[in-house]
Structure 1
Amino acid sequence: MTYEEIAEMLEEMGLPFAYHHFAEGESPAPPFLLFLSPGENTFSADNLAYFSCKQLDIELYTDKKQPELEEQVESVLSQHEIYYTKTELFIDSEELYEVLYEMEV
């Protein structure tokens, strides 16, 4: 999946988004999304890379728990047939919930 394809998929989620972070002073009010590719898993043999999967993290930030918004994000991922794992935490210093979707594309 290319950067452009990922951006198109995120647009379907209907929330502001940025790669890794928003520029200083440009962060929107929650809810918003951040995405990043923290690594890549490669299958190789005989000194050749045969297949590669990029890791993709999509982070949903909200100021209150919003299950309907999570369902909206998950619906788009399902429509694109993307398997993900989901974790959640509360960031005390930011007073924000982070729902993290981790997947390979």
Structure 2
Amino acid sequence: MAYNETLANRIRGALTLFPEKFTEKKMFGGIAFLLEGKMTVGAINDDLMVRVISTKMNNVLNQEHVRPMDFTGKPMKEFVFVAMDGCQTEEQLQQWIELGVEHAKSKLKNG
């Protein structure tokens, strides 16, 4: 598998707006961006992968261009895919990244 390099570069650029430092790691055949070792968002094929805290999953899944991340044929807990149409603008991308960062921070607080 590959990932959309343009999307990955847009994510890199958007992450510079955060005070935290992010690392990159190849995962799921794509690239993931981590905050202190916790996944936030990533690019897999032409999709944006986003980690979402469980209490927001239902609302997020009801949004247009969003589907469960079913990488193995079974939906993965707290992961969604966002199609390119759902993150065309930098504002849309930033909102998705904020959800992913929120998830990572919640995991860091909880150990």
Q: TM-score, normalised by structure 1?
A: 0.37
Of structures 1 and 2, the one scoring higher in RCO (CA 8 A, sep 6+) is: 2
Q: TM-score, normalised by structure 2?
A: 0.36
